[in-house]
Structure 1
Amino acid sequence: MGRYSRLRRIQRLDPHKDYEQIFWWLTQYEFPWDYLQGVSVAFLRDYGVPRISQLLDRTQEFERAGQKRYDDTVLIAYEMVREGMDSEHGRATARHLNRIHGRYRIPNEDYLYVLATTVVGPKRWIDRYGWRALSPQETESMALVGRRMGEMMGIAGLPGDYAGFERLHDDYEKQMFAYDPANRRVAAATLRVITGWFPRPLRPLVARVALALLDEPLLAALGFRPQPHWLRTAAHRTLRARAALVRRLPARPDWLPHRAKPRSYPFGWTLDDLGPHWAHSRPLAPLAEETSPQEQQ
C-alpha cells in the first residue's frame, strides 16, 4: 500500500454518510499517535476554564487516579465508535457516559466547549505536526462524529460542521479563559500523568516540552509561564522532524489497526471498567433520543 493510498480512498467517500469509516481510518491507521496528542492538548484546554477545572478539582479524580481518568476518557470515545455509534455497543457506551456525567450539574455550554476541544484540538495538532494535513473529508468526519456523540449525550446547540465547532471553541475561550488556582492544580496533576510515562530523570524536561507546545493564553489561564523561545523552537522542530520521518515510512496495512495500550488496563478492559468506581452501581442513564422532551428538561 502506498503512503497516500488510504487518503485517496478517503477522498472518494462522502463524509456526511461515511464519517464513521473515515474517522476510524483517521484515528486507527493514518494518525493514531497524533490524534492522541491532540486529545491530550484538549484535556489541558478544558482546565483553562475555572468552572470546569473547579468541578474536576472537587472530584479529585486526577489526583487519586490520574492515569485511569486519562485512559478512561480516551477509551470511552474508542468504545463508542469501534462497532458503530448506533450499534448496541455504541449506544451502551453513550448510556454509560451519560451515567457518569449525570451526577453533576454541568451547563450545556460547558458540554459544548469540551466536545469542541476534542474536535478542534486533534485537527490543529495534526495539521501542524502530522505527516500530512487533514483532508476536508477527514476534518468533517471528526466534526460529524463529535456532533453525533453530542446528540447521544443530549447536548443542545450542536454545530453542524467543523467551522461551527472551531468558531464555538475560539469564542468560548475568549470569553471564559481566566486563571484560577484549581486550573493549575488539575493541569499539574495531568502533567504528572504525562511525565510519568517517561524515565524519572527525563520527567522535568518532558514537562517543560509539554508546556512549550501550549499557546500563551492557555498558559496564562493555567498559571504557567511561557517557556524560553529556544525550547519552543526545539520542540516544534523535533515534532516536524518526526512528521518528515513518518511520511517516509510505509502506510499501516488494513490488517494492522492501532491497538490501544492503556497503562491502567494491561490485561484488557470492559465497558464496566471505565469511569469512577461509583458509576458502576448507578442505573444506566438513557440516551437523549430515548427520553421524552419533558424528561429532558
Structure 2
Amino acid sequence: MKRFEWRDRIAGMDAEAECREIVLILGSHEFPWDFEQALGLALYRTYAVPSIGRLLADTKEFTERPQHRYDDTALILNDIMEFGFEPGRGRDALRRMNQMHRSYDISNDDYRYVLSTFVVMPVRWLNDLGYGWRRLTDHEIAASTNYYRRLGRHMGIKDIPETYAEFYELFDSYEREHFAYTDGGRAVSDATLGLMVDFYPAWQRPLVRPFTKALLDDRLIEAFGYPEPSAAWRRLADSALRLRARVVRRMRPRVEPRLARQSPNIRSYPDGYDPSRIGTFPQGCPVPHGLATREVPGTGAQVPAPGQAVASASPAPPQAPATTAEDAAER
C-alpha cells in the first residue's frame, strides 16, 4: 500500500453521501493519534465557557470520575462514527448520548459551539499548526463538516452552520464572547490535565504537564487562570510535534484501523461494554451505573459479566420521549 493511497481513495468518495466513511478513514487510518489529540482538545476547550464549565463541575463526574468520563465520551463518539446512525450499535450510542444531554439544561448555543470545536480543531491541529504528517484536503474538510452537521441534526441541534467557514466563525466568535474564568471550569480543567498526565509513566509526568500546558493557546490559559507557559516550553512542544509529523510521513500507511476502543488509555471496561449502558444516569435510570459486560466470542453480542445483575428495563430515563432526535432526523 502506497503512502498516499488512503488520501487518493478519499478523493474518489462523495463528501456528502460518504462523509462518515471518510471521517472514519481519517480518524482510524490516516491520523488516529492526531485526531485523538485534536478532539480531546476540542472537548477541553468547552470547559472555558462558564455555562459548560459550571455544569460539568456541578455534576462532579469530571472531577471525581475523570477516567470514566474520558472513556465514555471516547467510546460513544467512536461507536457512532464506526457504526453510523442506522439501528444497531451506532444508534444505541447516539441514544445514550442524547439521554445524558437531556438530563441537563443545555442551551442550543452551547450545543452549536461544542459541535464547532469538533469541526475546527482537527483542521487547526493538522493544517494550521502543522502537526499532521500531511494536510487535510478541502474535500476531506468538507466531508468532516458534513459528518458533524449530520451528527448535530441527530442531536436535535438547531441552526447548524453549513460550511467549514461558518463553523470557524461560530467557533471564534463564541470563544471571544464567552470564554471567562470560573472555579468550576478550572476544577474540571485541573482534573482533566491530571488524567492526561497519568497516562504516562511516573518518570515522564513532571515533563508531560508543562508540555501539555504549552499547547494551550492564550485564550485557554487566560480563561483557566494558568500562568503563561514559558517561551522555551512553547518552542519545545511545537518543535516536538512538528518533528513527529515528519517522522510519521515516512512511515508505512496504516492498513488495519486503530479505533478509540483499542486505545490503552481506555481503562474502565476491560471486559467490553454495551454503548447503551455506559455513561451517567443522573435521573435514576434502572440500568446499574458502571455495569460491566463481556463479549460473546464470535457474535459481537454484549452480555453482563459474571456477578452482574441483568437490567430489566430500558436504559432510557422514564421521562425520555418515545421519539428521539435521532429518530426524527431519519424521517
Normalising by structure 1, we get a TM-score of 0.93
The CA distance in 2 between the partners of 1:235 and 1:291, in whole Å, is 45
Match of 2:278 in 1: 274
* Residue 193 (str. 1) matches residue 199 (str. 2): no
**Aligned match of 2:267 in 263, 266, 271?**
263
8 Å contact 2:10–2:22 — kept in the other structure? yes
Equivalent residue number for residue 295 of structure 1: none
Classify the secondary structure of the residue corresponding to 2:16: helix
- Corresponding residue for 2:216? 214
Taking a change above 3 Å as real, the CA distance of residues 291 and 257 of structure 1, as seen in their structure-2 partners, is closer
Distance 1:191 1:289 in 2: 33
Identify which of 223, 226, 241 aligns with 1:224.
226
Q: How many Å apart are 1:112 and its aligned residue?
A: 0.7
> Which stretch shows the higher mean deviation, 231-240 or 192-201?
192-201
3-state DSSP of counterpart to 1:15: coil
1:235 is aligned to: 237
Deviations 1:274-293 (A, max 9, x none): 2114454524654226469x
2:119 match:
119
Which piece of structure 1 moves more, 140-149 or 244-253? 140-149
Count matched residues.
290
2:14 aligned residue: 14
Q: What is the distance in 2 between the residues matched to 1:12 and 1:96?
A: 34
Shift of 1:218: 1.2
Aligned-residue CA RMSD (Å): 1.7
Per the TM alignment, residue 130 of structure 1 is displaced from its structure 2 partner at its CA by 1.0
Distance of 2:242 and 2:233 partners within structure 1:
14
Q: What is the match of residue 108 of structure 2?
A: 108
Q: Aligned partners of 1:174 and 1:221: how far apart in 2?
A: 11
When residues 289 and 4 of structure 1 are mapped into structure 2, their CA distance, relative to the original with a 3 A threshold, is closer
- Per-residue CA shift, 1:232-289, capped at 9, x if unaligned? 1011111111111110000011xx1114231222232211342114454524654226
Q: SS where residue 231 of structure 1 aligns?
A: helix
**1:183–1:223 contact (8 Å) kept in structure 2:** no
Alpha-carbon offset, residue 119 of structure 1:
1.5
Gaps of 5+ in 1: 293-297
33-42 or 196-205: which moved more? 196-205
Question: The residue matched to 1:233 in structure 2 has which SS?
Answer: helix
Indicate yes or no: 2:95 matched with 1:98. no
Distance 1:145 1:7, change over 3 A: same
Q: Which has the higher Rg, Structure 1 or Structure 2?
A: 2
> Which protein has the bigger helix share?
1
State the partner residue of 1:147.
149
Q: Is the 8 A contact 1:13 1:137 kept in 2?
A: no
**How far apart, CA to CA, are the structure 1 residues paired with 2:79 and 2:15?**
21
Contact 1:29 1:252 in 2 (8 A): yes
CA distance in 2, matches of 1:190, 1:122: 19
1:195 and 1:6 map into 2 onto residues whose CA distance is 32
How much has 1:200 moved relative to structure 2? 2.2
Structure 2 residue 318 is matched with structure 1 residue 288? no
What is the rounded CA distance, in whole Å, between the counterparts of 1:178 and 1:162 in structure 2?
25
User: How far 1:132 moved relative to its partner?
Assistant: 0.6
If asked which structure has higher relative contact order (CA below 8 Å, sep 6+), I would say: 1
* Amino acid aligned to 1:276: T
**In structure 2, distance between residues paired with 1:90 and 1:145:** 14
Q: Identify the range of structure 1 (104-113 vs 279-288) with the bigger mean alpha-carbon deviation.
A: 279-288
**Compared CA separation, residues 6 and 38, structure 1 to 2 (3 A):** same
Identity, % of aligned positions: 39
